[in-house]
Structures are given as C-alpha cells and as structure tokens.
Chains A and B, each alone.
Chain A
Amino acid sequence: MRVLFAAALALATAITLVFLALPIAALFLRVGPGELVSSLGSPVARDAIVVSLKTNLIAEALIVVLGTPAAYLLARRRFRGRALVLTIVELPLVLPPAVGGIALFAAFGRTGLVGDELHALGLTIPFTQTAVVFAVTFVAAPFYVRPAVAAFESLDQSLLEAARTLGAGTARVFARVALPLASGGLSAAAAVAFARGLGEFGATIMFAGSLQGVTQTLPLAIYAEFARDFHLALALGALLVVISFAILLSVKLVPSWTRYALTFPFRSATST
C-alpha cells in the first residue's frame, strides 16, 4: 500500500513536471542562444522591449508608491467593510484580463464613466502608452498589494508598540520599524507583480491596442509576429521565460527577501 502510494505520488509529480516543462523546453530547443540574441536586434523586438520596460517600470512605481501605504492601512486598521475592500483589491487576480480590458474602457474610454472629464482636460487614454500603464497596473497591482498586506499583518505587534512607547509617532513607526521589517516580503511581492505585469496581454490588447513602438509590449509582439515571423515570436517568448524564471527564482534565493520569514505564496520553496 505504502509503495503503491509513493509510486502514485511520483507518477503524478512526473506528469505535472513534464506537462509544465515540455513547452518551455521546446521553446528553447527551437531557438538557440545565438538566434535569440540576433533576433532581439530586430526593430520589432527592440521597440517591444523598450515599450515593455518603460510602461512596466512606470506601472511598478505606481503600484509600489501607492500600494505600500494602502497595504499598511489595510493591515493595521480593522473597520467595517474591510473584507469588501480586500476583495476588491483581490478581484483582478481571478478576473479574465479581457474583463479588465473592457472595464478599463468603460471607465476611461471616450464615452466612459470619467470620459467627459478626461476629454475636458484634453486627455485621451485608450490606445496610448498611458493605456498600457493602466492595463498593467490594473492587472499586476493585486500581486503586490495582497502579499504586502500579509507582510504588514505578520509583523510582531509588540515591536510597533515598543516604538510608540519609545517616542516614535505613527509616521516614524512606519518608516523606521514597519517598512524595514516588511521590506523582504514587499520586495518579493514587487518582483512577482513586475513579472505578472511584463506578461500582461489581454487587458492591454483591448484597451491599448498593439501599435509597434507605442503600445506593443513583448507579449503583444509575440502575438503579432506569431503569423508573420514565427522564429522572432519564439525568441521573444524565450526572452520572457528567462526574465520570469529569473524573477521567481530570485524571490526564493535572495537572502534579504526571505530574512524575516513571512507567509508568501511564491516563496515556499525555501525550506527555512
């Protein structure tokens, strides 16, 4: 019985791994390192890399700068409707990206909820680089905010209280105690949110379109080149795999990101 169970576990693990790894392996078997580097020199690839980096860095900055204080507030305060607020924050995690795209249209489109106000200000969002930033922020933010709330919640309460009795006001407690102690969890969360943002496709193509050099990010370029230049599409895909792999692995290995062991879903591989 025990042998049978062990064999079943091993078999299930093997099938899972093969299923997940085979397509990735195929990608790299089709694109050699030399081909990868040379095809990344093409204008389409260069433009996609620039657009992806620019929009994702802006989105990441927005997410971290606004998401960190928001996560601290949500972690520290108990108020009516808190579960509702957390659910709203989590929603994009499970929402189909296409729903995100159409929702962004409904809100910020020419005829959208705040369309008139934006128009009056001379702002047009859809099919601009700003739209890419919006789409990436919308989809990636919960990947940062939710673990950030957890990171702040798991702080030792007595440390924050000790800081208060030692004369620190709430802002100093946040800056000198809460933020440094949660920084490991926050960095890991930021890395995962960045990886998710880089891979954003559905909401972006609906809300921002796929205009080379303006709104065409790496995933959109893969889709566009799929029918035109399959090898370039493969190379761009391989590049995204390398970046994502590096980010997820670093979350598990960078010591300072795991120092004040916190609960974090993408980090459980560290056996500490």
Chain B
Amino acid sequence: MDPLRVDVSLPLRDFDLAVELDVAAGETVALVGPSGAGKSTVLRAVAGLVRPERGRIVCGETWFDGRVDRRPEERSVGLLFQDYALFPHLSVEQNVGFGGPVDGLLERFRIAHLARARPRDLSGGERQRVALARALARRPRVLLLDEPMSALDPHTRADVRGELRALLHELALPTLLVTHDFEDAATIADRIGVLVDGKLRQLASPAELVASPSDAFVAALAGGNLLRGSARALPSGVTEVDLDLGGVCYSTDMREGPVSVLVYPWDVSLAHEQPEDSALNHVRGEVVSVVAIGNRVRVRVGPLTAEVTLASAQRLGLAAGQEVVATFKATATRLVA
C-alpha cells in the first residue's frame, strides 16, 4: 500500500483552495470545516473530477502534476459520494459489480439478501453499505469518503461510525474523509485537518486538536467554550483575563492582550453554591437548557456549556431557570488567539 500525497491549488469562487497533506497507508485523515470551505473539492481533485490549477497528486504513481493528468477512470480511487450516487437502473449486485468483481463483497457488507433489490428500495444504512462495497469492488489504492454519515438516521450513526472505523482499519488504505461533524471526525479519523476558506488551519490528531487548538475557530469546532477578553500577566504567575461579558477568569497560559478563553464542557463542573476548592474560576449563572445525550448531560449556564454525568445532573436536580455556579480550573483554561 502506498501513501497518498496531495498538494493542490485551484481558485474557487470566493477564495483560492491551497491544500497540502500526506495520508499514510492505513491512516484516515478527516477534513472538517464549514460548508463551502473546499473540503469536497479536495476529494474531487484527488479523484480527477476537478483539475487543480497546479500541484501534485501521487499515490504510488503520479496522478497529477504539471505534465501528467490521469483520467478519473485511470486513478483507482474509491469515492463514496455524499448521496452515494447508486445507479437507480441497476440492482444492488449490478451496482457493486460495476467497478469490478463482486466476489464476497455482498456477504461482507451484509447486503447479499438485497442482491436483486433496486437502490430506491433500500434504507439509508443499506445504501451506504452498497456504495462502500461498490467503491471497494474497484480494488482502489485510495478511499475518499464525502460526508459518509450525512444521509443516516441519528440513531444508526453511532453504530455505523464504529463499523466504518473497523473497516478502515482492516482495509489499510490511505483514506480521506470529509465531514462537517467534529465528533464523526474525532471517532473515525487518526488525524483531522481543519479547512477554512480553502486553507488548512491545523492538521493534528483529535487529542492534539482539542488540547492545543491553533485558534478560536478550531477550538469552537472541537466543541470548546470561547469567551472573548483581554489578558494580562499577574505577578503571581497566572494570567488574568477581563472578560468582555464582565467578570474575570484565570489561566495558566501566558498571553497578553485580546484573547479567547477556551474551556471544554467536560472541564466545567456545576454546584449550587460556590465550592471551597482549588479552582480559581467560578461563574454564577442561570441554567438555560439541560440536554441529555446518552449517559451525559449538556447544561448551558449563561455563556458556558458544561458536560456532567447523568447521575450528577439528577443528584443536583438540574433544571432550566435554576441558579448554579460553574467552576473550572485555571490549568484547564486555554488562551487562544
């Protein structure tokens, strides 16, 4: 298996797309970012459906550079389209067989019983499996997944994430995944590239991205709370931030001037009264909303989102309208540009 090397530049309507990244064999890199950032265009360029103005695309052999421009059918990519693009006039088996021998793919993707069915008779999850089987029948050197989860019901998403992760691990191909959902990216991919206005803001593992986001946008995408303010160093060695919303908070990060304070929901704890503990940051506010997600509860308190266990939320009897104190440590408080 060869790695995929991508270096593409091309003008889009509002900005220039310029992306350079390598994907190792067996590695999955997710491109996340707002819609219209150029994520899908990167995939289409690798597949040969869009011609870059300049750059280089290599996977074992050169697919594109100044002189070479291989046609899509000569590139050996498995591209999973956002709406799966199954051929409506062909059966499931014919769809899978379009790109290569069907072999055991129908059994492997649990669609053998649907072999004669038409795409219009399938559920979203079944369509996704047919599309994956069809892409793999081609025996591709690269897998390109464009929003593979977007056509799925919310309750099948979690299962499919796990399956997809296992499949990608087993295939050991270089994989590029486009998604607007950070959680999909973080659970499926080994590295995440944040693409904004055609440029990669940051390319790092999910853990790194959460721990040290390059800027406020990346931090927000990773699910962090962001509060704007003005920072100055205190003689005691911590940084004090005057928040634009009023009040102050403290961080162990060293920065001066206008900053964004970043704190992740899982680093915020809640109590009815201000606790006597080591934490420096306390925000008193009214509970705006309480949303349970599985065994966790997301609680909105003033400008902050806190994430606590379902058990804690029940013990505290959290409900909208209540006054609570949100607490987070200075050491869990990042300052970003």
- Contacting residues of chain A (147-192) with chain B, CB-CB under 8 angstroms: 156, 158-159, 161-169, 176-177, 180-181
Q: Does A28 contact B (CB under 8 A)?
A: no
Question: Number of residues in A with C-beta < 8 Å to the partner?
Answer: 17
Q: How close is B69's CB to chain A, nearest CB, in angstroms?
A: 14
In the bound complex, how far is the Cα of B73 from the Cα of A130, in angstroms? 44
- Which residue of the partner chain B has the closest CB to A181? B89
Known: A161-B49, A162-B79, A162-B81. A167 touches B89 (CB 8 A): no
Q: Is the interface of A mostly helix, strand, loop or mixed?
A: helix
Q: Chain A contacts of B77 at CB under 8 A?
A: 165
In the bound complex, how far is the Cα of B47 from the Cα of A181, in angstroms? 23
Q: Chain A contacts of B135 at CB under 8 A?
A: 166
Q: How close is B23's CB to chain A, nearest CB, in angstroms?
A: 17
Q: Chain B contacts of A166 at CB under 8 A?
A: 73, 98-100, 134-135, 137-138
Q: Chain A contacts of B72 at CB under 8 A?
A: 161, 164-165
- Which residue of the partner chain A has the closest CB to B89? A180
> Closest 4 interchain pairs by CB?
A166-B99, A164-B72, A162-B85, A158-B85
Q: Does B217 contact A (CB under 8 A)?
A: no
B98 touches A159 (CB 8 A): no
Q: Chain B contacts of A127 at CB under 8 A?
A: none
In the bound complex, how far is the Cα of B81 from the Cα of A168, in angstroms? 16
Q: Does A264 contact B (CB under 8 A)?
A: no
- Contacting residues of chain B (204-263) with chain A, CB-CB under 8 angstroms: none
B49 touches A167 (CB 8 A): no
In the bound complex, how far is the Cα of B137 from the Cα of A166, in angstroms? 9
Q: How close is A100's CB to chain B, nearest CB, in angstroms?
A: 37
Q: Does B87 contact A (CB under 8 A)?
A: yes
Q: Does B190 contact A (CB under 8 A)?
A: no
B85 touches A168 (CB 8 A): no
- Contacting residues of chain B (43-73) with chain A, CB-CB under 8 angstroms: 47-49, 71-73
B79 touches A165 (CB 8 A): yes
In the bound complex, how far is the Cα of B85 from the Cα of A30, in angstroms? 56
Partner of B49, one of A156, A164, A180: A164
A167 touches B85 (CB 8 A): no
A163 touches B49 (CB 8 A): no
Q: Does B126 contact A (CB under 8 A)?
A: no
Extra 5 A-B pairs, beta carbons < 8 Å, given A164-B48, A166-B100:
A165-B78, A165-B138, A166-B135, A176-B98, A181-B87
Q: Does A223 contact B (CB under 8 A)?
A: no
In the bound complex, how far is the Cα of B47 from the Cα of A161, in angstroms? 10
Q: Chain B contacts of A260 at CB under 8 A?
A: 88-89
Q: Does B83 contact A (CB under 8 A)?
A: yes
In the bound complex, how far is the Cα of B83 from the Cα of A159, in angstroms? 10
A81-112 vs B, CB cutoff 8 Å, 1 = contact: the mask equals 00000000000000000000000000000000
Q: List 14 A-B contacts (CB under 8 A).
A: A161-B49, A161-B81, A163-B98, A164-B71, A165-B72, A165-B79, A166-B99, A167-B73, A167-B99, A167-B100, A168-B73, A180-B89, A181-B89, A260-B89
- Which residue of the partner chain B has the closest CB to A166? B99
In the bound complex, how far is the Cα of B138 from the Cα of A166, in angstroms? 6
Q: Chain B contacts of A180 at CB under 8 A?
A: 89
- Which residue of the partner chain A has the closest CB to B146? A158
